[in-house]
């Protein structure tokens, strides 16, 4: 959740002033969503900023998210994922305390007049791929890739991109094998960015996260996608129209005059089979080639902080990226069995949560 797009509000009396036996103090409300509410706070011991999510204790969304987070941080949470601090029950609430982040990529895109340069998009894409590669190495797919679910850090980490919100995440690999292909009953994701197979209500795998990232990259480049604004009477019709527009829009036309590597990226992702192991190194190489071309045009090397929201005088203050080493994908290990409770729940018994509807209806 973004911190910049919400107006700060005083904490209601129903929310405690601190959680975890006083370890984290609550400051003000940042926003709310279908899961509950999120507040700004700080660690009583270190003074570091944190974000605190609350949901009714009768719900289990935060417990599901914590299960995913624990799988991601076997020893230490890698860069690109917010640090986990605490989860527990506080009165009538479940409470999750995480590292505080900055603005979402959606907010930053709006601030840039709804256009990012190819340089910025390639830098974002490369970091996002590291996040997805690590997520997928743990046998998990996100299923809700969109600009609102990528955020930048704060302070010296303003150039670091984080993947957040694992409420729709699910296991795609368990007990040493890929989950079987299924026709599902519920849509998971966001109509604007979802893969074509997600529109078909096919069970999702790694290819779907990667394709959705490709759609997000084009949204950043173009400001508006060809399947946006299609009139529809209901969600079913809108889903069909968006799917057909994605299927029928030639990638050459979608790409226009932008570097062809963006087109190559999306074409590759759409070519993958349900159980295919993506070539993450090749995909990251596509974004690196975009940056090499941009460097030639600029006459200088492109650095990781060369993002549009980082002021020139602040680039030297940005902490270097510490990107995780390429992770082994589940099929690389013969007996991949993650040690985590509630595995069956993550493998599909948990009902799919429908993505937030695009309102008004015609906006996809």
Binding-site residue numbers for ATP are: 53
Q: Which of 61, 107, 144, 209 is catalytic?
A: 144
Assign 3-class secondary structure to the chain. CCCCCCCCEECCCCCCCEECCCCEEEEEEEEEECCEEEEEEEECCCCCEEEEEEEECCCCHHHHHHHHHHHHCCCCCCCCCCCEEEEEEECCEEEEEEECCCCEHHHHHHHCCCCCCHHHHHHHHHHHHHHHHHHHHCCEECCCCCHHHEEECCHHHCCCEEECCCCCCEECEECCEECCCCECCCCCCCCCCCCHHHHCCECCCHHHHHHHHHHHHHHHHHCCCCCCCCCCCCHHHHHHHHHHHHHHCCHHHHHCCCCHHHHHHHHHHHHCCCCCCCCHHHHHHHHHHHHHHHHHHHCCCCCCCCCCCCCHHHHHHCCCCCCCCCCCCHHHCCCCCCCCCCHHHHHHHCCCCCCCCCCCCCCC
| Tokens (6 digits) for 303 | 């650095």
Nearest one of 321, 254, 241 to 284, comparing CA atoms: 321
Question: How many other C-beta atoms lie within 10 A of the C-beta of residue 253?
Answer: 9
Dist. CA 295–CA 302, nearest whole Å: 6
144 catalytic? Reply is yes
CA atoms within 13 A of residue 279's CA, in its CB half-sphere? 11
**DSSP bridge pairs for 236:** none
Residues recognised as catalytic: 144
């Amino acid at each position: 959740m973004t911190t910049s797009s919400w107006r700060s509000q005083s904490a209601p009396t129903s929310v405690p002033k601190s959680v975890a036996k006083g370890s984290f103090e609550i400051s003000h409300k940042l926003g709310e969503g279908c899961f509950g509410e999120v507040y700004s706070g700080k660690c009583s011991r270190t003074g570091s900023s944190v974000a605190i999510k609350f949901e009714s204790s009768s719900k289990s969304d935060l417990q599901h998210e914590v299960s995913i987070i624990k799988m991601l941080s076997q020893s230490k949470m890698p860069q690109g994922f917010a640090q986990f601090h605490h989860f527990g029950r506080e009165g009538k609430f479940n409470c999750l305390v995480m590292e505080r982040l900055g603005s979402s990529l959606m907010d930053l895109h709006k601030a840039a007049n709804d256009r990012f340069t190819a340089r910025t998009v390639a830098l974002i894409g490369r970091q996002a791929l590291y996040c997805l590669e690590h997520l997928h190495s743990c046998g998990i797919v996100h299923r809700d890739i969109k600009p609102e679910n990528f955020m930048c850090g704060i302070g010296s980490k303003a150039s670091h991109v984080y993947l957040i919100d694992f409420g729709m995440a699910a296991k795609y690999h368990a007990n040493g094998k890929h989950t079987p292909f299924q026709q599902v009953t519920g849509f998971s994701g966001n109509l604007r960015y979802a893969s074509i197979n997600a529109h078909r209500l096919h069970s999702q795998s790694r290819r779907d996260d990667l394709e959705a990232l490709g759609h997000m990259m084009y949204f950043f480049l173009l400001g508006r996608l060809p399947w946006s604004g299609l009139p529809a009477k209901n969600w079913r019709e809108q889903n069909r129209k968006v799917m057909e527009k994605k299927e029928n829009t030639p990638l050459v036309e979608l790409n226009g005059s932008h570097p062809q590597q963006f087109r190559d990226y999306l074409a590759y992702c759409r070519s993958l089979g349900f159980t295919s192991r993506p070539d993450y190194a090749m995909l990251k190489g596509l974004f690196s080639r975009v940056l090499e071309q941009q460097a030639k045009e600029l006459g200088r090397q492109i650095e990781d902080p060369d993002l549009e929201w980082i002021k020139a005088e602040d680039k030297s203050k940005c902490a270097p990226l510490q990107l995780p080493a390429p992770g082994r994908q589940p099929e690389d290990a013969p007996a991949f069995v993650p040690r985590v409770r509630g595995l069956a729940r993550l493998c599909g018994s948990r009902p799919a949560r429908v993505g937030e509807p695009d309102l008004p209806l015609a906006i996809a």
